[in-house]
Structure 1
């Protein structure tokens, strides 16, 4: 079982919709109009997965910190 998830936001893709911050406010914030993770690694949380799946431009990537397996968005 995973000890954590690695969360990243591609600043080239992010359009600053804020859906991630609304979906997972404890894990994302908007900085200068772009989303950024609050922490690079986080305990697994359904809200983080939901935020990645809800991003309209798929700018958020969630990977297993132990084995780099893609968690979200689903291909």
Structure 2
């Protein structure tokens, strides 16, 4: 799956010669292999849970909760 992804981005994509956000263009087979190895060692980032803030209502029935990203 990683190798297919690297191939799509570096060889079969229409904008394969355009640098990405890191400013790199991968053109050689050695660089593609290095990129695939680097993706294998990548650990996924885990998002923090959202924080809930309760806003009391005037009629005291049910407080509204708003999710905040911090």
- Structure 2 length as normaliser, TM-score? 0.27
- Bigger share in strand: 1
Larger relative contact order (Cα-Cα within 8 Å, sequence gap ≥ 6): 1
Q: Which has the larger radius of gyration?
A: 2
- Structure 1 length as normaliser, TM-score? 0.26
- Bigger share in helix: 2
